[in-house]
Structure 1
C-alpha cells in the first residue's frame, strides 16, 4: 500500500508541485542575493582600513565629522517631518472630500489631481522659484517645505483607502452627533492607519533623498541637507572609496530602518488601496 503525502490542509502533495516550489524559492533567493550583493560591497568597503584587512569604524567617524552630517541630519529631519505632516493633513482632508462628499465638479477635481502625477517637479521649478522669491522664502525652510506640502499621489491614495471603509461606520457616528471633521478624526483616520503609514514612508523617504529642492532653492550652508552634504563630500573625497561608502551608509541607514519598522503597514496599505473606483 502506498502512502500519500499530505500537506497541512489535508491535500495531496504532487512531486511536480514540490519541484516548482523549490524552483521558486531558488529563484527568490538568487534574486535576493543579486540585490544584496551591491549593498554588501558598500558595507565591506566602508569598514575597510587603508593597507589593512582589519575592520575599522574610523571611516564612519571621519565621514561624520568632515561631512558635517550632524547639521545635515537635523535639517533633513526637520524638512522631511514637516513635509510629511503637511502632506498627511492635506491628503486626508482632500481624499476624504473626494471619497465621501457629493458636490459638483468632484470628478473633474479628481482628474486634475491625477493629471498632476504625470507632471515632473522640474517642469514647475521656475514658477515655484518666482513665487518663493516673491514671498521672500528663498534660503529658508519654507522653500524646502511648502512646494511639496500637498501631493496628488497622497490625495489619491487616501481617497482610495477611504472608499474601502464601510459607510455604515460613518452613519453610526453621525447618528451619535459627530460632524464631518469628528468622523474623519475619530473614525476614518484610525481605520486608515495602513494608508497613513504608507504615505508617511513614501513622503519621508522621498524628502530625505531629495537633492533637487535644496540645490535650487537654497545657498546657505546652514540649510544643507543630507543629500547636499553627501554631494559635497563626494566632490571632496572622490578617490577615497572607503570614506565615500561610509558616507553613503550614514545617509541611507535612517530611511532603511524606517522602512523596516513600517513595512508591514506599508504592504497592507498598498494591497488594500485601489479596490474600489
Structure 2
C-alpha cells in the first residue's frame, strides 16, 4: 500500500468518524426524548424503571388530551396550501427571472434577495392590518396568505432553471409551444429536485410555525400542532412523560416527510449553486 493510498484511507476514516460524531450529537437528544416518552409518569418520578416498564400509553393519553386530531388537520391544511401557493409563485417568478429579458430584471432579483434578510416579525403589524381590513383574521386565509410567496423559493427556482440548457426550450418553441407550455411540460418536470426541496422547506417551516397562529388566530378550531403543543406544555408541565410523547407526536410527520424526500432534497440543494 502506497503512502498516498494510506493518506486517502486515513482521510476517509477521519471523515467517517466526524460524520458519525455529528450524527450522534444531532440524534441523541431526540433518542432521549423518545426513551423518556415511553416511561410511565409514576415510574418517571421515582426514576425506578426497567425495559419491561416501557409503554406506549403516554402517546394515547397525549393524543387525546392534547386534541391533536384537530391540530394535525389544521396544520396539514395550512402547510399544504402554503406549499402549493409557493410552488406556483416561485416557479412563475423564478422562470421569469431566469429566462425572460426585461428592464429592471436585476433590480427585481436584488429586491427578492433583500426580502430574505427581513424577519417576518418586523412585518407582522402591517400584515395584521391588511388581514383585518380584508376581514381575514381568525380564518385559514390569515395563516396561508402571509407566506403564499417567498423570496427563498423564487431564488431557489431561478437558480435551478438557470442550470437547464436553453436548447431544450428552443426545441420546444420550434414545435410550437408557448412560454407557459414550456414551463409546464419541459422545465417543471426537469425541476423536480428543486420542487421537492422547496416543498420540504415550506411544509416543514409551516408545520413548525407558532408565530402566525399565535398572532392571527384566537379561535380554538383553528389551532395548529405547535399551538396545541404549547398549550399542552402549559397544562402538563409536571408530567414529563406525556410532554415528551407530545413532542414526538408533533415531530414524527416532519421526520417521515424528510426521509421520504431526502434524495431529491440533496439533489436539489446540490444543483442550485450560485449562477449568474
Report the TM-score when normalising by structure 2: 0.94
Deviation at 1:274, TM superposition (A): 2.2
Matches within 5 A, 1:1-277: 4=1, 14-49=5-40, 50-51=42-43, 52-53=49-50, 54-277=53-276
- Structure 1 runs not aligned, ≥5 long: 6-11
Cα pair 1:164 1:275 within 8 Å, conserved: no
Q: In structure 2, how many angstroms separate the alpha carbons of the residues matched to 1:167 and 1:133?
A: 45
Q: In structure 2, how many angstroms separate the alpha carbons of the residues matched to 1:141 and 1:34?
A: 38
Q: In structure 2, how many angstroms separate the alpha carbons of the residues matched to 1:20 and 1:175?
A: 51
Once the two structures are superposed, residues 143-189 of structure 1 have per-residue CA deviations (whole angstroms, 9 ceiling, x without a partner) of 00000000000000000100000000001101111110000000000
Cα pair 1:47 1:55 within 8 Å, conserved: yes
Q: In structure 2, how many angstroms separate the alpha carbons of the residues matched to 1:15 and 1:102?
A: 53
Q: In structure 2, how many angstroms separate the alpha carbons of the residues matched to 1:198 and 1:20?
A: 30
Cα pair 1:60 1:247 within 8 Å, conserved: yes
Q: In structure 2, how many angstroms separate the alpha carbons of the residues matched to 1:16 and 1:197?
A: 38
Q: Which residue does 1:9 correspond to in 2?
A: none
Q: In structure 2, how many angstroms separate the alpha carbons of the residues matched to 1:102 and 1:17?
A: 48
Q: In structure 1, how many angstroms separate the alpha carbons of the residues matched to 2:113 and 2:7?
A: 46
More helix by share: 2
Q: In structure 2, how many angstroms separate the alpha carbons of the residues matched to 1:211 and 1:13?
A: 53
Q: In structure 2, how many angstroms separate the alpha carbons of the residues matched to 1:72 and 1:275?
A: 39
Q: In structure 1, how many angstroms separate the alpha carbons of the residues matched to 2:213 and 2:160?
A: 32
Deviation at 1:63, TM superposition (A): 0.2
Deviation at 1:28, TM superposition (A): 1.9
- Structure 2 runs not aligned, ≥5 long: 44-48
